[in-house]
Amino acid sequence: MARRPKRAEHDNHERWMVSYADFITLLFAFFVVMYGISSVNEGKYKVFSVSVNQAFGANGKAGEGSAVHLTEDEMFFKSLVDRRNARLAEKQRKQNERMQNLAQTLNGAMASFVKNGQMTVSQNGRGVELEINASALFNLGEADIQPEAKKTLADAAKVLADNDFAIEVEGHTDNMPISTAKYPSNWELSSARASSVVRLFIDQGILAKRLKAVGEADNQPVVPNDTPENRARNRRVTITVLSPEPEADPAIPQSPDQQ
């Protein structure tokens, strides 16, 4: 009887895909774990610690040993976070102290305005703010700084030139409309007044890149424009020495939630 011919067996050339898929899965899991431990977040780290304890703490001894080790790691990372927070708090304290000293120095440099009630110096979340009544700087409806005011502003500029804080100058008007060939509206007048102060500061040695001139017209009144006295108060120039933005501490990586 004739033998049945054996069926030819073909090599499976796609078996490599199984090993490749396993490798990609392990590689993905590795990077997920690396990303998780690179982001120091106390809340997430505690969840991670509990999860590992539950996974590897099947028997009592192994679980207890892992718990002790992870608690020490948690304390270590917590100490890093505490030191980072202490450094940031110290930076903030020194920055606030610098701004307070600057406010006092500016208050003295512009004493003539302060004594006459034409200027106030205050400190807020943005920085040190100087609010100067427009009548101390300009004639009504004009943007040229009066000669007697230039000296006082020059004294303030000398103080500001000694630091590197950004400075924002805002011009404000009352709600009475103006329409002249030079200033068609309060927008042009308020912008021109802010620019006049900025130009004086530049002439006194303050770097132009630190300065910004903003015209607000009558959109930011401090009191209602219902009396001549209130309208006079709303006509003002505000000089704000901006506090620098807090710097991120590179000692500890930030998690996406912190960014």
Structure token pair of residue 168:
């924002």
Cβ atoms of 252 and 85 closer than 8 Å: no
The DSSP bridge pattern shows strands 236-242 and 167-172 to be antiparallel
Structure token pair of residue 28:
């993905």
Q: Please tell me the predicted confidence (pLDDT) of residue 143.
A: 96
Instruction: Walk along the chain (259 residues) and give the pLDDT tens digit of each residue.
Output: 556 655 555 556 666 777 778 888 888 887 777 776 665 555 655 666 666 565 555 444 444 444 444 466 667 777 777 787 777 777 777 778 888 888 888 888 888 888 888 999 988 888 999 999 999 999 999 999 999 999 999 999 999 998 889 999 999 999 999 999 999 999 999 999 999 999 999 999 999 999 999 999 999 999 999 999 999 999 999 999 998 875 555 544 444 444 4
Alpha helix positions (H), the chain:
16-38, 42-56, 60-109, 111-115, 147-160, 186-203, 228-234
Residue ranges of the chain that CATH labels 3.30.1330.60:
110-242
Q: How far apart are CA 237 and CA 215, in angstroms?
A: 10
- Three-class DSSP category at 116: coil
Q: Please tell me the predicted confidence (pLDDT) of residue 255.
A: 45
Q: CB within 8 A of 131, min separation 6: which ones?
A: 119, 120, 122, 236, 237, 238
Structure token pair of residue 243:
């506090």
Q: Please tell me the predicted confidence (pLDDT) of residue 258.
A: 46
The class that CATH gives domain 110-242 is alpha beta
Phi, psi of 75 (to 5 degrees): -65, -35
Q: How far apart are CA 204 and CA 69, in angstroms?
A: 62
Q: Please tell me the predicted confidence (pLDDT) of residue 6.
A: 58
Q: How far apart are CA 69 and CA 137, in angstroms?
A: 69
Structure token pair of residue 14:
């796609």
- Three-class DSSP category at 46: helix
Cβ atoms of 191 and 213 closer than 8 Å: yes
Q: Of the candidates 72, 156, 147, 86, which has an alpha carbon nearest to the alpha carbon of residue 114? A: 156
